[in-house]
Structure 1
Amino acid sequence: MRESQHNGPEPRLGLTFSENPDGTVNWHQPVSDQFVDPSGRFATGGLAVLVDSGLGAENHRRRPSGKWTVTTELRLDLIGAPREGSTGLGIRADHLGHDGHCLTTRGEVVDDDGEVIASGLVKTMEFAAGVDAEGYDDEPPWPSALEPGTLTEVLCLTLSERGDGPGGSRVVEGVIAPEPTLANPLGNLHGGVFAAAAEVVGAAVFPHERDVSSSSLDVRYVRQIPLVQPVTIRAEVLHDGRSWGISQVTTRDERGRVSAVATVTVYGRR
């Protein structure tokens, strides 16, 4: 059997998969430092590539012949961090169908005890792409190439704090370096990578005295995000209450148009 040529964010984050005789797929992601953000918290964003790839794959394999798929919407709700000592995560997928516009799959992220730690949903659209869709489907499972480090290090993400939001509110910008292994097969920033980075940056706008745990991440992908130069994402506060907060995270193209937008909801009293 030939070796896989895939060299994207999935192997970089240690994600692997195996196919069952009935056609279903088992996904596995190790639990290590790639879930830790600069504040030391468990970052929900560390689950984003698993959700995007695992649920998106269920949509992708049901697309019309000759078409490619891209994620248009991703939602991720954290229920609880993996138990201490958990070694790996998997995903249970439930394909909901195709309404003529989008394919939709929902699912659950589970730890190695089968306990649910998060729920997710991915919508995708199909289109004619400049890649050999069927040929890519024949790629064998890739080996893990887990990149050591925290989530920001694995995502090649740097954060900077600003105060030029509405009314002088806190703004955080993140810059993703153009690392080729963060791209999807079309050469654009992988949707799960944007979602992961958006969650980290969106949570970072809230004061450090708040015991922040991200409750939900909701992403809309408007247009492709080329990874030919650093990608800047910007988070601003929408609501900063006593018990919970909401931030909005955007990235724009060179013409100033929104390429992707995310809403991050965090819980935790000050």
Structure 2
Amino acid sequence: MQYPLNTPLGRMGVQTLEEGPHRCVASIPVGGLLNPLTGLPTVAPLAMLIDHVGGLVNHYRRAKAEWTVSSELAVELTPDAMALIGATPDLPVVATGRPFGPKGTGSLAVCELGHGDTVVGTATVRSFHIQTPGHLVEWPTDTSAGTPPATLRERMSVAVAETGGATVVLRQLADPVVNNSIGIVHGGISAAALELVGSAALGGAEEALWRTASIRVNYLRQFRGGTQSRYEARVLRSGRSSGVADAQAVGDDGKVALLARLTAYR
């Protein structure tokens, strides 16, 4: 299934290849997309793919009067993931998701990330089961083909903020196209942005050898784009061979909506 360009999935180029209660498969283009903060290749779009596939698996487990919202997302990548993706940029990354364990207050999905015949990562998505919201935003039914914007910055509706000091900041602009069906920024968009600021905090072009190895995201509350909405990251450790950064999404109200920790290696 190909999504309209005025939806977050269509904007990011996600295509659902298979879906059902036991297995969901989707793809996303990653090669050639650059981190707007560093100008370097990035694995950030994988967060969008993982949130979609894992969330879809969990959504199939909901009861009749239930809805699902992401509560945690975690990614583990192989050391050569970015190099493999960059070597054949026209080949999308494919995620295959399956349910893991019994359903409780929430559900857990496990995903495998493949690039061609090579596994480049694993991931999990945990979702809460909540009462179906009173109002859901209806996505367009037109699924005609189209081309997403050329840059990752445009696809995610983010802007580089002018900041000083040790904190890296990326603004989340108000744009209904990147919102999910309950009218907040899609969890995959916000998780991807946390990877962008986290990896940028560790170093710019002069530190091109940093490779994101893992990122874990916690969704704390609803997050909306706005004049003060932003993603920010600060380095916890930057050593010879490993680095760790903490990132967060802060809404217009000044409250932290998402938290993440990113680990990278040289």
So what's the TM-score if we normalise by structure 2?
0.85
Tell me whether 1:30 sits opposite 2:42 in the alignment. Answer: no
Tell me whether 1:215 sits opposite 2:213 in the alignment. Answer: yes
Could you say what the CA RMSD is over the residues aligned between the two structures, in angstroms?
Answer: 2.9
Change (3 A) 1:88 1:141: farther
* Counterpart residue identity of residue 247, structure 1: A
* Counterpart residue identity of residue 14, structure 1: G
- Secondary structure of the 1:205 match is helix
* Counterpart residue identity of residue 70, structure 2: T
Task: Determine the C-alpha separation between the residues in 1 that align with 2:20 and 2:191.
Answer: 32
User: How far off its partner does 1:127 sit?
Assistant: 0.8
User: How far off its partner does 1:261 sit?
Assistant: 0.6
- Aligned pairs for 1:1-270 (under 5 A) are 7-19=6-18, 24-33=23-32, 35-38=33-36, 39-79=38-78, 80-81=81-82, 82=85, 84-85=87-88, 86-111=90-115, 113-131=116-134, 142-143=143-144, 145-160=146-161, 162-164=163-165, 170-208=166-204, 209-210=206-207, 211-227=209-225, 229=227, 231-268=229-266
**1:172-204 CA deviation, whole Å, 9 max, x = no partner?**
111011121111111101111011111111111
Task: Determine the C-alpha separation between the residues in 1 that align with 2:126 and 2:236.
Answer: 25
**Aligned residue pairs: how many?**
257
User: How far off its partner does 1:242 sit?
Assistant: 1.6
* Counterpart residue identity of residue 57, structure 1: L
So what's the TM-score if we normalise by structure 1?
0.84
Is this contact kept in 1: 2:202–2:244, CA < 8 A? Answer: no
**1:133-188 CA deviation, whole Å, 9 max, x = no partner?**
8x979x97945544232322321222236444xxxxx2111101112111111110
Is this contact kept in 2: 1:74–1:220, CA < 8 A? Answer: yes
Unaligned runs of 5+ in 2: none
Task: Determine the C-alpha separation between the residues in 2 that align with 1:161 and 1:72.
Answer: 30
- Secondary structure of the 2:94 match is strand
User: How far off its partner does 1:246 sit?
Assistant: 0.8
- Secondary structure of the 1:147 match is coil
